[in-house]
Structure 1
Amino acid sequence: MTRTQDHIRTAFADAAVTGWLHACDIDTGAEVGFHPDHPVVTASVHKLCLLVALHQCAAQGDFELTEQIEVPPTGRTFGLTGLGAMLDPARVSLRDAAYLMMSVSDNIAADLLLERVGLDAVNRTTTQLGLSHTLAIHTFQQLLDTIKKDAGPSGTRALTDPHTITRLTALDPARTNRSTPRDMTRLLSCIWRDEAGTPDHGAAIRRLLGLQVWPHRLASGFPFDDVHVAGKTGSLPTLRNEVGVVEYPDGGRYAVAVFTRAANTAATLPAADAVIGTAARIAVDALRAPRTRRRSGA
């Protein structure tokens, strides 16, 4: 184990989580990993795969991103943000639904887009980009339905019980939407190098990733006005994830994917959120070391 990997291991241990990480320099390919090929549950991180598939379909002429979709007030996927928290009928474009899906992780917006794109298209996209360990098998409503079913009659109250947690299909990467940290940094690198679509569509995807509102995970490791962090979180009981790109003013840009699982079933664990930023910063600092030495003349 390298010194960097040991520091990452210690950070995860101090936060009382099990963690998996991959980070790479988008331009040189230099990388840092901590069990980077371990299968992980993506949760809402899989919305990034859907976003790329949406733009690929639009680029192929399947539809216009300005196409309007109706959102009735009933039958909506559960969610505490975006359309899920709204009470009245709504009408949004595909691209505005994509904004809600990425900025506030709107589950209803995501499932509306999945109705238009299809799970098969999402999986074709990830396969074409070389993400060999990434697979979507559920819509977000179906994912939440498995949690409701597995939790039993006690509902969400049962999710504080460790025995209930062990039987949740949604937490088993063999039975739910899944990937690996390395696959996710590959996807991010493709987006930032305009290899996941046309330059215009790539710019639109990068813009949406930069509009995410949550600062408490990946971005917390880079509290600098001149460092830009764009990412997508994912959360389920005991799981906290984020993938994203960190861009420095000297041109350095780094794709990072951090996935964690806590033994503690509490919904609020600030240390578990913060360690995503801490581990990412350790990895990015290691990747930046050669650049920093060159600039200092060392």
Structure 2
Amino acid sequence: MIPAELSAYLAAEIAAFPGKTSLLVADLPTGAVRHAWQPEEPVPSASTIKVPILLAALEEVRLGRLSLEQRVALPAAALLPDTEVFDRGETDCSLWELLYWMTALSDNTATNVILDLLGLDAVNRYATRVLGLRHTVCRRKMLDAAAAAAGRDNRTSAADQCRLYRQLCLGRLLTPRLTETALDLLRRQRCMDAALRYLPYPVDFAHKTGELDGVTHDAGVFFQGSGGYYLGIFTWEGPSPDGDPEQKRYIGRLARAIYETYL
């Protein structure tokens, strides 16, 4: 497709989707917007909130207040029933391993241990003062049903995620070594069934997914040569309960059309 045809295709798909969509495609080096649909709309973040948490932790490493090698306690009370990695009787692990499991496998236990280490307020200060995010806020830990029922939901937007990914990729946040650490962790993302679902090509995509009942997101950067594109597709109030692939298929269709047009 040429870009005009892609715009028409995206508009038709978004209109037919039985839920809400926010979408942003932007050039990585310049930030030029290629396609946008409600990019500033605040949305339930699901696990995409883990990207600003990752960057806030690495900022503490940059400042010398934490280190990737330091051991972090894993209290038994912190272990959540959905964890797939902390079931071997560990009492501690390195900060790097916690960041790996939070990012690559989206482990909620690892995320909550990191949030205990950093503090919600510190994450939110970093998101607003350093990253300049307008709609991103971390109001609760993962799987905190009581906080969620009280309306304390974590939120973000496609535009905010674009801001943080571009700053990271352009080297404006961390040291070169820590920038590469962050991108390496995001490239290790194991959830490959949304934006990458229908791409039969070898791709270089640093990204993070998110999923709750009726909520499915995928956002990150496709690298190509010295440049690339940010792609963020956020869907909410949709038809898919957690684990159902319908919204992921929708994201996959849009992502393939965008990828084949620009990359």
Q: What's the TM-score, normalizing by structure 2?
A: 0.89
Aligned to 2:116: 115
Amino acid at match of 1:59: R
Displacement of 1:145 in angstroms is: 3.4
4+ runs deviating over 6 angstroms: none
Q: 1:96 to 1:230 in 2, by over 3 A?
A: same
SS of 2:219's equivalent? strand
Q: CA deviation at 1:260?
A: 0.5
Identity %: 26
Match for residue 214 of structure 1 among 184, 191, 207 = 191
1:6 is aligned to 8
| Separation (CA, whole Å) in 2 of partners of 1:206 and 1:43 | 20
1:131 corresponds, among 120, 130, 133, to 133
Higher mean displacement: 118-127 or 68-77: 68-77
Query: For 1:170-207, what per-residue CA distance to the aligned partner results, in whole angstroms no more than 9, with x for missing partners?
Result: xxxxx421121111011111111111211111100000
In structure 2, the CA distance between the partners of 1:115 and 1:41, relative to structure 1 (3 Å rule), is same
Residue pair 1:65, 1:94 contacting (<8 A) in 2 also: yes
C-alpha contact (below 8 Å) 1:212/1:230 kept by paired residues: yes
Other-structure match for 2:209:
233
SS at match of 1:279: helix
Shift of 1:87: 5.6
Maintained 8 Å contact 2:62/2:175: yes
If each structure's helix is expressed as a fraction of its own residues, which one has the higher value? 1
- Checking the alignment, whether the CA contact within 8 Å between 2:78 and 2:112 is kept in structure 1 is no
Deviation at 1:271, TM superposition (A): 2.8
Mapped to 2, the partners of 1:39 and 1:75 lie a distance apart of 29
Aligned to 1:181: 158
- Following TM superposition, by how much is the alpha carbon of 1:52 offset from its aligned partner in structure 2, in angstroms? 0.2
User: 1:36 aligned to 2:39?
Assistant: yes
Contact 2:215/2:238 (<8 A) preserved: no
In structure 2, relative to structure 1, the CA distance for the partners of 1:25 and 1:263 (3 Å cut) is: closer
Unaligned stretches of 5+ residues in structure 2:
none
CA distance in structure 1 between the aligned counterparts of 2:104 and 2:91, rounded to whole angstroms: 18
AA matched with 2:89: D
C-alpha separation between the residues in 1 aligned to 2:10 and 2:218?
Answer: 16
Larger mean Cα displacement after TM superposition, 18-27 or 133-142 = 133-142
Q: Which amino acid aligns with 1:189?
A: R
TM-fit CA distance, 1:141: 4.2
Aligned to 2:234: 259
Q: What SS class does the counterpart of residue 266 from structure 1 fall into?
A: coil
Aligned partner of 1:197 among 162, 174, 177 = 174
Q: In the alignment, what sits opposite 1:161?
A: none
| One-letter code aligned to 1:209 | L
Structure 1 residue 70, shift from structure 2 partner: 2.4
Q: Residue 106 of structure 2 aligns to which amino acid in structure 1?
A: S
Q: By how many angstroms is 1:80 displaced?
A: 4.2
The separation in 2 between residues aligned to 1:75 and 1:268, in whole angstroms, is: 24
Contact 1:191 1:197 survives alignment (8 Å): yes
Q: 1:264 to 1:38 in 2, by over 3 A?
A: same
Partners of 1:90 and 1:275 in 2: CA distance: 41
Q: CA deviation digits over 1:237-274, x for unaligned, max 9?
A: 110111111123x4441111111024425334323102
CA RMSD of aligned residues (A): 2.2
Q: Does the residue aligned with 1:277 lie in a helix, a strand or coil?
A: helix
Range that drifts further, 9-18 or 54-63: 9-18
SS at match of 2:164: helix
Partner of 2:251: 276
Larger C-alpha radius of gyration, 1 or 2? 1
**Separation in 2 of the partners of 1:283 and 1:30?**
15
Q: Deviations over 1:55-92 (max 9, x none)?
A: 00111011211111222334423424332xx2623421
Deviation of residue 115 (structure 1)? 1.2
**Structure 1 unaligned runs (5+)?**
151-167, 170-174, 293-298
3-state SS of 1:219 partner = coil
Q: What TM-score comes out, normalization by structure 1 length?
A: 0.79
Alpha-carbon separation, structure 1, partners of 2:51 and 2:88: 26
Residue aligning to 1:103: 104
* Count of aligned positions: 258
